[in-house]
C-alpha cells in the first residue's frame, strides 16, 4: 500500500539520487552543440526500493532527460535514436524553429520508427527555458 509516509520518504530521496548520479540526474551539455538523445524503456521502482517497477520511457537513461544548454543564436544538432517499441519523435516545446525540425509526428515530420534515427538541426532564436518531449502518441509517451 502506498502511504503518505512512503510518498514523502520517496520525495526526500530524490535529491540524494541526483547527488549519487542515480536515475533522476541532470546532465549539463554545452560546447560543440552536438548531442545524441536515445529514447528507451526503463523499469524503475518510483515508489521506493520495495515498490513495484514502473515502465518508464526515458531519454539517455534518465528522467527527466538531459539538460541541454545552448546560447541564443547558436545551432543545435541532435541525433535522436528511437529504442522504444513504437514510433516516436521529439517536440522542442515553445522554441521558434522551422517546421521540419519541430517534431510533431504526422504534421511536421514522420515519426521515427523503432530502431530508426533522425537528425534535428536548428538555430536557437530566443533566450529562455524550454522543454522537450515525445510527440507521437503523446497520451502514452509523455506520461511514461
Alpha helix stretches (DSSP H) within the chain: 4-19, 138-141
Q: Give the pLDDT confidence score for residue 52 in this predicted structure.
A: 93
Calculate the average pLDDT of the chain: 80
Band (pLDDT 50/70/90 cuts) for residue 25 is very low
Q: Give the pLDDT confidence score for residue 87 in this predicted structure.
A: 95
Residues ≥6 apart with Cβ < 8 Å to 42: 23, 56, 57, 58, 61, 63
pLDDT tens, residue by residue, 53-94: 989 889 999 888 899 888 888 999 999 999 999 999 998 988
Cβ count near 48 (within 10 Å): 12
What cell does 9 get?
520518504
Q: Give the mean pLDDT of 121-144.
A: 81
DSSP assignment of 25-48 equals ------SS-EEEEEEEEEEE-TT-
Amino acid at each position: 500500500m502506498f502511504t503518505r509516509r512512503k510518498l514523502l520518504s520517496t520525495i526526500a530521496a530524490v535529491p540524494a539520487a541526483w547527488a549519487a548520479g542515480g536515475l533522476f540526474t541532470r546532465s549539463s551539455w554545452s560546447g560543440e552543440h552536438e548531442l545524441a538523445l536515445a529514447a528507451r524503456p526503463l523499469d524503475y521502482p518510483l515508489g521506493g526500493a520495495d515498490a513495484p517497477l514502473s515502465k518508464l520511457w526515458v531519454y539517455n537513461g534518465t528522467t527527466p532527460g538531459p539538460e541541454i544548454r545552448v546560447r541564443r543564436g547558436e545551432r543545435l544538432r541532435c541525433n535522436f535514436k528511437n529504442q522504444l517499441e513504437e514510433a516516436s519523435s521529439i517536440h522542442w516545446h515553445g522554441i521558434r524553429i522551422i517546421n521540419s525540425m519541430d517534431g510533431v509526428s504526422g504534421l511536421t515530420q514522420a515519426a521515427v520508427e523503432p530502431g530508426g534515427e533522425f537528425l534535428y538541426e536548428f538555430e536557437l532564436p530566443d533566450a529562455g527555458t524550454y522543454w522537450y518531449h515525445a510527440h507521437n502518441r503523446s497520451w502514452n509517451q509523455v506520461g511514461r
